[in-house]
Amino acid sequence: MGKTDTLTMNQDQLVKAWNQTLPTVLNESERVEIKADAADPRTIWVHIATAGHSFYSFDFKCTYVDSREVHVTFVDVEQDGQHINERTEIVQTLIDDYVRHIHECAQQLHAVTHH
């Protein structure tokens, strides 16, 4: 049996790497904040604030399945600090885009998350 492909980075390094890498796959004007999950060392929280006048902000929970793949869960969307319906087409499109970008970032970070 081969060795399992597990995440080998500590959470602080992981948060730092994500903070450096995720903005490079998003639009320049979008703001990103990555936080560690206190309960699970394989989980980080991703907060993305959109650019422009819409003032959307999105929260995602990302849990590493292995060193390459993350399971992304959409948690919440707000507009100008107020919770809004995430079922609108524009919000769903943004959620899909951000989930794709988060997976893209995880792929880029595979070089550092797998030793």
Domain count, the chain: 1
Among 57, 37, 48, CA closest to 102:
48
Q: Is residue 3 part of a domain?
A: no
Query: Residue 1: is its pLDDT beyond 50?
Result: no
* Top-confidence residue, 3 or 25: 25
Q: Is residue 36 part of a domain?
A: yes
Helices 89-108 and 11-25: crossing angle, nearest 10°?
Answer: 120
Distances (CA, A) of 63 to 22, 33, 45, 72, 77: 15, 16, 9, 7, 19
Query: Residue 110: is its pLDDT beyond 50?
Result: yes
Domain that holds residue 97: 11-83+92-110
Q: Is residue 6 part of a domain?
A: no
Query: Residue 114: is its pLDDT beyond 90?
Result: no
Q: Are 102 and 46 in contact (CB under 8 A)?
A: yes
Query: What tokens appear for 86 in the block?
Result: 């995430």
Phi/psi at 26 (nearest 5 deg)?
Answer: -105, 175
Beta strands in the chain (DSSP E): 31-36, 43-49, 56-64, 70-79, 82-83
Q: Is residue 5 part of a domain?
A: no
- pTM summary value: 0.92
Distance, CA of 98 to CA of 48 (rounded, Å): 8
